Chain A
Amino acid sequence: MIRKKLAAAALLLALSLVTTARAEGDAKRGEVRFQECAACHKLEAGANEVGPSLHGIFSRKAGELPDFRYSPAMKRSGVGWTPETLDKYLADPQAFIPANRMPYAGLSNASDRADLIAYLQKATQ
């Protein structure tokens, strides 16, 4: 239990460090940005549709949910989802994890990505 709490605290610290390292995102604007994702991704736990549920994404590794059919590329990627890795992924999904199956060309604007990630950090807990 204590170990878990420590780990959570360490994660929180890590998250806040990363957040300060990137552009500060606006979660409110990010909620609007999320419309780009919402046709395929839900935020509720277990709600896998065309894309996997995003619930708890920042405590997951890529391709980890047992009941979603990921691409081999996603499973093999070894990426752990942090605001930083998600930022890279969303900037150019095929460049960051080649041959993944998400039909999305990417979000090129860095501040749009920061907003979206700020929103996801709140909404996926």
Chain B
Amino acid sequence: MTTKLKEVDVVIVGLGWTGGILAKELTEAGLKVVALERGSMRTSENDYALPNIRDELRYVVRHDLMQNTARDTITVRNNPQQDALPMRRLGSFLPGEVVGGSAVHWSGHTWRWTDMEFKVRSNYEERYGKKFIPEDMTIQDWGITYAELEPYYDKFEYTAAVSGKAGNLGGKIQQGGNPFEAPRAREYPLPPLTPILASEMFSDAARNAGYHPFPRPSANASQSYTNPDGSKFGACQYCGYCQRFGCEANAKGSPHMTVIPIAMARPNFELRTNSWVTKVLKDSDGKRVTGVTYTNILDGEEFEQPASIVLLCAYAINNVHLMLLSGIGAPYDPVSQKGVIGKNYCYQTGASATLFFEGKYFNPFMNAGGSNDTIDDFNANWAFDRTPHEFVGGYVVAGGFNTPLPIGYRPVPSGTPQWGSEWKRATAKWYQTAMVINASGSVMANRYNCFDLDPTYRNAFGLPLMRMTFDYKANEHKMGIHAAATINTIAKSMNPTKLNPASARTDPWTVVPYQSTHNTGGTIMGTNSRDSAVNKYLQSWDCHNLFVVGANVFPHNSAYNPTGPVGALAYWTADAIKNRYLKNPGPLVNA
């Protein structure tokens, strides 16, 4: 039996960065907002304080803050010829499942994606010709511009306490920043983090090679900070427990200590945790949604929550799943290439080298989530000629560490036995003296990389799992070769005692090991309802009172981490709802 609740103005599905931002913004506008979060309540004081948070076994190995795959997961295959199997344990990516979502356990890397991404097809066609883009590469322009998003990037950076150095202020290139970034109106809210030795060594080598290293912009507060909403940040303590942990010092920009408590203090907001949304309900004419159905996972009771506006703000993959389960929009078919829901799933690629320096002491257990200096010479640098390398997209290269924890981070030179006394000697010898240089690369959309509902496997609610079909294509393989060569050139110039060189990845993608929690696409944004699921305001083309917010709207994936545009688009959508949709409910763009 389903209990029908009283209608509210807005129901938000999932309370991480996007849900938190929209909850704060829309309660400010006076709307009655209910947020449904499938995870439990977690707070800095109860859950992320010392000493309990520094528990690698609990948080990294056992995924305490992440999706429980015994309840719901995805099935996975590399191509449509294979049978997909359920991913029974998290590995390659780690969706969050608590109040605050994945933004509790992220590292804080915050980039501004530019028109290079938003106009990807136009740009490449104009410079390299139509033939340069492979026929099965389904990249398309996003229908939004950097200029439109700039104020919203700014808003997100100032909310999340991003530390960094501007490389381009109003068109003027700034010393020490990323010279390839798009023009920004003002500096970052905070100066860059203190560099670590490994990162400084990488920067020197990259500079000597003619590249342009800069401190990676990250939502790790380099100083104590009060954001424009009054949320208070402590200074990052370089504790080493960043990625996959909540911050013990309230120094990492996260929604549970910024936008969510602000919404929660308002009488017109209600949060219901342990609330699992199973369906978005459509009106009889199919032009509007009327609310959602959800189950309280503690007692199994089912509720219908009617709402005038529905916002899907879950993890990217789960937003797409909910659209497919609810039958909103036409499901995408990779054979006929008709339909849109599930289209253009993308991921990221990369390459990595480990450098060993006898006599150096890197103290790898001490760092911030964003301590690594980075070069953008092969990504946002449009002057980098892709012609001889024959790939679309790019990659960034960084040097240093990212949360090198004692269980998981055991660098030893290749050839070392994987266990036994010799391994023990090697790990003791090299732990302090190794550093990493890695590349993170874009993945361009391909017609065969997509989501649909699995025909066989079901979740704890009896609903079909979502099926992911994904593999790297020739474009990514070629980029990987280029990235590995760049890394190895820089690495060799540093004269390490030993080097585990980077190699391009050409084997099929698998669900292990961890790669990145940067899954994009599935309900992509665009200029028309034929090619995309939502318009530039993330509003469903099919149901005008439904907005689908998150990296699921990205038509392809870039080399950068996705949270910058995810946060900016949440603010952008909030403004569109407050200033335009509420005055005149209906499609904000004509289909």
Chain B proximity of A77: nearest CB distance (Å): 16
Q: For chain A residues 78-125, which have a beta carbon within 8 Å of chain B?
A: 101-105
B248 within 8 A of A: yes
Enumerate chain B residues within 8 angstroms of A69, measured Cβ to Cβ. 49
Specify which chain B residues have a CB less than 8 angstroms from the CB of A48 in the assembled complex: 45
A36 touches B235 (CB 8 A): yes
Q: Chain B: which residue is nearest A69 at the CB level?
A: B49
Provide the bound-state CA to CA distance between A28 and B250, in Å: 24
Selecting from B62-70, B226-234, B392-400, B501-509, the interface stretch reads B226-234
- The answer to whether A104 touches B249 (Cβ under 8 A) is yes
A6 proximal to B (CB < 8 A):
no
Which residues of chain B are within 8 angstroms of A40 by Cβ–Cβ distance? Answer: 44, 234, 249-250
Q: Is B323 part of the contact surface with A, judged by Cβ < 8 Å?
A: no
Contact of A104 among B233, B234, B257 (CB under 8 A): B234
Contact B250 A101 (CB under 8 A): no
Any B CB within 8 A of the CB of A71: yes
Query: Is the CB–CB distance between A50 and B49 below 8 Å?
Result: yes
Q: Among B45, B237, B239, which residue has its beta carbon within 8 angstroms of that of A49?
A: B45
Contacts of A39 in B (CB 8 A): 224, 232-234, 249-251, 257
14 A-B pairs with CB atoms under 8 Å apart are: A35-B224, A35-B232, A37-B224, A38-B224, A39-B233, A39-B250, A40-B44, A40-B250, A49-B44, A69-B49, A71-B50, A101-B49, A101-B50, A103-B239
Which of B44, B49, B225, B233 has its CB near the most chain A CB atoms (within 10 A)? B49
A residues engaging B (CB < 8 A)?
35-40, 48-50, 69, 71, 101-105
How does the 8 Å CB contact mask read for B48-77 relative to A, with 1 for contact and 0 for none? 111100000000000000000000000000
In the bound complex, what is the Cα–Cα distance between A38 and B249 (angstroms)?
11
Residue numbers in A under 8 Å from B234 (CB-CB): 36-37, 39-40, 103-104
CA of A103 to CA of B246, assembled, Å: 13
CB distance from A100 to the nearest CB of B (A): 9
Contact B237 A104 (CB under 8 A): yes
Pick the residue among B50, B232, B257 that contacts A103 (CB under 8 A): B50
For the complex with contacts A49-B44, A50-B45, 4 further pairs of A-B residues with Cβ separation under 8 Å are A48-B45, A50-B44, A50-B250, A101-B50
Contacting residues, chain A, for B226 (C-beta < 8 A): 35, 38
The complex places the Cα of A104 from the Cα of B49 at a distance, in Å, of: 12
Return the contact of B224 from the options A36, A49, A71, A103 (Cβ within 8 A).
Answer: A36
Cβ contact within 8 Å between A105 and B237? yes
Cα of A14 to Cα of B237 in the assembled complex, Å: 35
Once the chains are docked, how many angstroms separate the CA of A37 from the CA of B250? 10
List, in ascending order, chain A residues with CB within 8 A of B44's CB.
40, 49-50
The 3 closest A-B pairs by CB, nearest first: A39-B234, A39-B250, A101-B50
Contact partners of B251 in chain A: CB under 8 A: 39
Closest CB of chain A to B227's CB: distance in Å? 11
B232: contacting residue among A38, A71, A101, CB under 8 A = A38
List the A side residues contacting B48 at CB < 8 Å: 50
A120–B179 Cα gap in the complex (Å)?
44
Given A36-B224, A38-B224, A38-B226: A71 and B49 interface contact (C-beta under 8 Å): no
* Residue on B nearest A48 in the bound complex, by CB: B45
**Chain B residue contacts of A102, Cβ below 8 A:** 50
Closest to A99 in B: B51
CB distance from B45 to the nearest CB of A (A): 5
Q: Cβ of B248: which chain A residues have Cβ within 8 Å of it?
A: 50, 103
Please tell me which one of the listed residues A36, A38, A101 contacts residue B51 in the complex, with CB atoms under 8 A apart.
A101
Nearest Cβ in chain A — how far from B262, in angstroms? 15
| Contact digits for B329-353, partner A, Cβ 8 Å, 1 yes 0 no | 0000000000000000000000000
Cα distance A36–B250 in the bound complex, in angstroms: 11
Report the bound CA distance from A48 to B49 in whole Å. 12
Q: Once the chains are docked, how many angstroms separate the CA of A61 from the CA of B50?
A: 21
A48 and B235 CA atoms in complex are apart in Å by: 19
A101: B residues at CB distance < 8 A: 49-51
CA distance A102 to B257 in the complex (A): 18
Q: State the CA gap A103–B368 with chains docked (Å).
A: 13
Q: Are A71 and B51 in contact (CB under 8 A)?
A: yes
In this complex, what residue of A is CB-closest to B231? A39
Q: A103 to chain B: closest CB distance in Å?
A: 4
B residues in contact with A50, CB < 8 Å: 44-45, 48-49, 248-250
Nearest neighbor of B50 in chain A, beta-carbon distance: A101
